[in-house]
Each structure stands twice: as structure tokens, then as C-alpha cells.
Amino acid sequence: MTTISTQPIAGQKPGTSGLRKKTPVFMGKHYLENFVQAIFDVVGAAGKTFVLGGDGRYFNDTAAQVILRMAAANGAARVIIGQGAILSTPAASHLIRLNKTDGGIIMSASHNPGGPNEDFGVKFNMSNGGPAPEGVTEAMYKRTTEIAQYHTLETADIDLSKIGRTAVRDMIVDVVDPVADYATLMESLFDFPAISAMFRGGFRMRMDSMCAVTGPYAVEILEKRLGAAAGTCVNATPLPDFGGMHPDPNPTWAKALMDEMFGANAPDFGAASDGDGDRNMVVGAGAYVSPSDSLAVLAANAHLAPGYKAGLKGIARSMPTSAAADRVAASLGIESYETPTGWKFFGNLLDAGRATICGEESFGTGSDHVREKDGLWAILLWLNILAARNQSVAAILAEHWAKFGRNYYSRHDFEAIASDKADAMMAALRGSLPGLPGKVLEGLTVQAADDFAYTDPVDGSVSKAQGVRILFADGSRIVLRLSGTGTEGATLRLYLERYAAGPDGLDLDPQAALAPVIRAAHALAQIESHTGRVAPDVIT
């Protein structure tokens, strides 16, 4: 073992989903090593087994070798790693659980672009397969501020291109097929014969993996196991720079898919996933499904899939996600939960058997089959529902809204704002909250305004300052928070919601339906005077 002296590096604080920085920062002297040593110092490595993999972005392969050496030097017994150091985030979560390991390290900056000058990230998942909770990431951060040395080995790189067992000194390294176990899990949850019969009957799909990690998973499951036509999966080869794409599955960044789905001769179903495979966007022919609606539709129809035929135990959504899923929970007579942003907050509810399906407005849906959101899982559940109901996506949405009413919803992102300006805006807004109830803006009366705090119903831990929410008397809602996943300045996320109960209000364009709520939000937060921004950079 070689022990190397080092010094704390400022700012190695994990955000919403692990530590994310520009790739050159991660490649800087001791940067990756310091963070990895902080992880091992907190969770302990001696005698333990970990899963390791990443989304294949630039530096993924080099970082994997660094982490393997450090795991061995810190006394780990075994590392299970995807071939070529590739694992989607949900597949890594599954391998942690399947092999009952002590956790895993996932190398990804998720939906952020990859490449020598783009983003890289590292996150640690616990033995339940889920992201480390706040208490653990806080301890890791604290460790990075006091670190004085890290442990490594002087060994050659190990060959990760071949499946099989090898070793780094005394540590076993099992190089596994990144897709096989995950595909088997999907086959156990969904009605593959019904979905393949649908494809045989001429059902057409376009799956856009955005040159990111789900390509091999999508080809194996959709084309090979389910018999979708060859060419169904596009952008299916993971590339270190994601082919220059921004692998964030939303209408802005997955524009080619949107154009196809809204064009002449559109396929029946379209889907896209993000860098590390945990997000999904689904679209029908001429029918975009907002993530909040997707969560609600999946929850209302999950019983049609074999893995969920016994029904759901509960539904959890992040606070900024629309309340559409709550209406489904109420009609099913099951519990609904509202958690802070970030998948880590769903872990306890899933582990305790209180929630079966979870979702976020940011194109994330998942269930208790793993402890991460899972893009292909959501896509397959949609396919299972489409096969069972034999209806179009548009028809399923229309029926859903007719039954439950429609929660118009949109998120406006204002990116790369100077951090001090964004902080000042949020501070002023937080300061104004006590005076808001009773105020009337754009014909909307403020009913309540607070800064969301969450008490975990399972372990009682409290998370404060999770986002400002302003509720209006008619059920409309505004939420504002700053992103915890960006790597440049601050990103303001403005979440907007309005409920329409009757069939009258069901067919508006969301931006039009939300117009008064949008104006009220700008007036309340004084976005322009604080940041100089009038319009958002990305609308989802």
C-alpha cells in the first residue's frame, strides 16, 4: 500500500445527487482521490464488497482504475464492476441489492453533458442500493475538509474489457455484464409476452438513448428480448462526449425525438433517457407526457403489470412535483408522501414498505424494485400499460384527466445566474413569506407560504430549507429553489402548477393555462430585478 500526503480541497460538497464538477476539476491533483478516500473513511472499506460503474462519459475509465486501486489499498475484499466500467445508475442499484454488497460508487454527472470540458461526478450508494442520505454525505464532506492522506497502490491498470474474475493485489474484481441482471429483473416485473405481441402487431417505437448509457440496455431489452424492429433504438452507442448531445431527456434537449413524435407518420411511442439512465421522457404520437402526469398515470395503471398486480402500498413524490399523483393515491385509498427533491429521500419509504412507486417532476420515476429512479423501467411500464389497455398514449392521458382532473404543470429554469444574485433573491423571497398570506396577485389569493421542511416519517431526520412554496386559494402553486446539481453559477428552478377539475379546462396549452401563475411568480420573487432575467433558458 502507498500512502500519499494530501491536503483538503475546498468545495467537495455533494449536492442533490453526489459530487459534480467540471471534468478538469475532477482530473486535478488529488481531487478524485480525496473524495474517494473521504467516502472510504466514512463508510469503511476493510473486508467490504462494493459495486462500481459509471455512465461511460469522458474520464470514466481512468477514474475506475483510480477507485479500484484505492479500494484495494483501503482493504476492500471485492469489487463488482460493469464491463468497460459501465453501469447505468439503476443497474448499479440493482447489483448492490442482488449481491448484498456494502454499497457502490457510481461515476456520473447524470444528465449534464460529458467531455474533457464538461461535467463529471461521483456518488456513493448504500447497501440498500439507494443514494447516501444527507447525514452520510455531510460526514463525507466534513472528511474532505480535514483529509491529510489517501491510500493507493502502485499497480498497472486492470483489464476491464473481459467479463470474469481478476484481482488487484488481494482484492477480487468481478467484471460483469452490465446489462444481463438488469434485463432479467425487468423481465420479472413486466408482461414481456404481451409487449412483444404488441410489437409483432406493428406497434412502432423510437427509443433515444442520447449516446449515453442506456443504449446497450435498450437494444438488449427492446430489440432483442421484446422483438421491437431493428433501428427502434437510436443514439444507442454510449460515447465519452455523448456525441456532443446534452443527454437530458426533455423536449428541449431531445428535440429530434419530439419532432419525430409530432411529425407526419409518427411512431406510436417515443422515449428518451439521460446520461446515467435514471431519467425518462415518454411521448405518444402527438402527445407529450409531462413527468408529473407520467407518475400519476403509471401509479393508476401499475396493477396491469405482473410485478405490481397486488397493488401499490403508497405513492411518493418530491415536493415540486405536481399533485396529480396525490389524486391517484386518494382514489386508490393509499398513502401519498411529499419529500424534498432528490431520490435519496425516497429510500426510507421504499425500505419500510410504505411506498411502492415514486417520482419527480424532473423526468424521474421508479419503484421499490431498486433504490434509484429508473428510466427504462418507466418506459417498460408504459409499454406494459399500452399493451394491456390497447389504447394510444393520447387516449390514456385524456381518460386520466377526465377522471382525475388535470394538474397543469411546468418548470422554468434560469441557468448560470451569478450565485450571489440568486442567493440574494432567495433570501429576499424567504424574508417576504410571512407577509404573503392574504395578498392577491393576478387574481390569485395567497393562502400559505413557507420554506419546505421535511421530517422523514421513518427515521425522524429533518431536512430544512428545501424550497419556497406559495399556495393559492384555488389550488395553484409556485415553488422556487436553487439547483443542487449544476457546476456553473446558480440555476433557479421555478415550478408552476394549476389544477383544472372539469372537462372545460382540460385542453389548454400548459404555458397558457399557467400564464397568471407565471406572472404572479415573477412579481413575488422579483426575478428580473434580482437576476436581470426575464425569460427562462429551459421550459419543461
Residues binding ligand VG1: number (CB under 6 A) = 18
- Options 118, 191, 326, 360; binder of ligand VG1; rule CB under 6 A: 360
278 near ligand VG1 (CB under 6 A): yes
390: Cβ contacts below 8 Å, ≥ 6 apart: none
Burial of 37 per CB tally in 10 Å (0-12, 13-18, 19+): buried
Give start and end residues of each alpha helix (H) in 356-509: 375-389, 393-404, 419-432
* Helical (H) or strand (E) element with 195: helix 192-200
> Which option in Co ion, ligand VG1, none does residue 16 bind, with CB closer than 5 to 8 A by kind?
ligand VG1
The DSSP symbol for 326 reads: H
Instruction: Give CA separation, 149 vs 28, 31, 35, 219, in Å.
Output: 16, 12, 11, 44
- Options 55, 61, 276, 413; binder of Co ion; rule CB under 5 A: 276
Considering only residues 197 to 236 of the shown chain, the ones binding ligand VG1 according to CB under 6 A are none
Binding mask 100-119 for Co ion (x = CB under 5 A): ----------x---------
413 near ligand VG1 (CB under 6 A): no
Find the shortest distance in angstroms from Cβ 167 to ligand VG1: 31
Binding mask 327-346 for ligand VG1 (x = CB under 6 A): --------------xxx---
The residues pairing with 498 across neighbouring beta strands, listed in sequence order, are 408
Q: Among 133, 171, 124, 134, which residue's Cα sits nearest to residue 152?
A: 171
Query: CB-wise, 208 or 274, nearer to Co ion?
Result: 274
Segment near ligand VG1 (CB under 6 A); pick from 95-103, 208-216, 376-384, 479-487:
479-487
- Options 279, 327, 477, 530; binder of ligand VG1; rule CB under 6 A: 279
Find the shortest distance in angstroms from Cβ 31 to ligand VG1: 20
Pairing of strands 440-441, 444-451: antiparallel
Find the shortest distance in angstroms from Cβ 89 to Co ion: 6
Place of cell 473513511: 41
Helix axes 393-404, 324-332, angle to 10 degrees: 70
Q: Residue 494 CA to chain centroid, in angstroms?
A: 18
- Report d(CA 135, CA 500) in Å as an integer: 40
Query: CB-wise, 278 or 368, nearer to Co ion?
Result: 278
- Options 115, 240, 243, 484; binder of ligand VG1; rule CB under 6 A: 484
Find the shortest distance in angstroms from Cβ 162 to Co ion: 28
246 near ligand VG1 (CB under 6 A): no
Give start and end residues of each alpha helix (H) in 390-509: 393-404, 419-432
User: CB–CB of 381/358 below 8 Å?
Assistant: no
- Options 33, 274, 293, 326; binder of ligand VG1; rule CB under 6 A: 274
232 near Co ion (CB under 5 A): no
* Helical (H) or strand (E) element with 165: strand 164-168
Residue type for position 384: N
- Options 41, 102, 119, 274; binder of Co ion; rule CB under 5 A: 274
Query: CB-wise, 17 or 476, nearer to Co ion?
Result: 17
Neighbour count for residue 524 (Cβ, 10 Å): 21
- Options 41, 223, 248, 278; binder of Co ion; rule CB under 5 A: 278
- Report d(CA 106, CA 213) in Å as an integer: 12
Q: Catalytic amino acids?
A: 110
248 near Co ion (CB under 5 A): no
Q: How many C-alpha atoms does 192 have within 13 Å on its Cβ side? A: 16
- Options 317, 493, 498, 522; binder of ligand VG1; rule CB under 6 A: 493
User: CB–CB of 286/264 below 8 Å?
Assistant: no
Segment near ligand VG1 (CB under 6 A); pick from 64-72, 280-288, 349-357, 481-489:
481-489
Segment near Co ion (CB under 5 A); pick from 42-50, 218-226, 268-276, 516-524:
268-276
110 near ligand VG1 (CB under 6 A): yes
Query: CB-wise, 275 or 314, nearer to Co ion?
Result: 275
User: CB–CB of 18/55 below 8 Å?
Assistant: no
User: CB–CB of 234/228 below 8 Å?
Assistant: no
485 near ligand VG1 (CB under 6 A): yes
Considering only residues 362 to 391 of the shown chain, the ones binding ligand VG1 according to CB under 6 A are 362, 364
User: CB–CB of 314/302 below 8 Å?
Assistant: no
* Helical (H) or strand (E) element with 469: strand 468-472
Find the shortest distance in angstroms from Cβ 447 to ligand VG1: 25
Q: Which residues bind Co ion (CB under 5 A)?
A: 110, 274, 276, 278-279
Q: Which residues bind ligand VG1 (CB under 6 A)?
A: 16-17, 110-111, 274, 278-279, 318, 341-343, 360, 362, 364, 483-485, 493
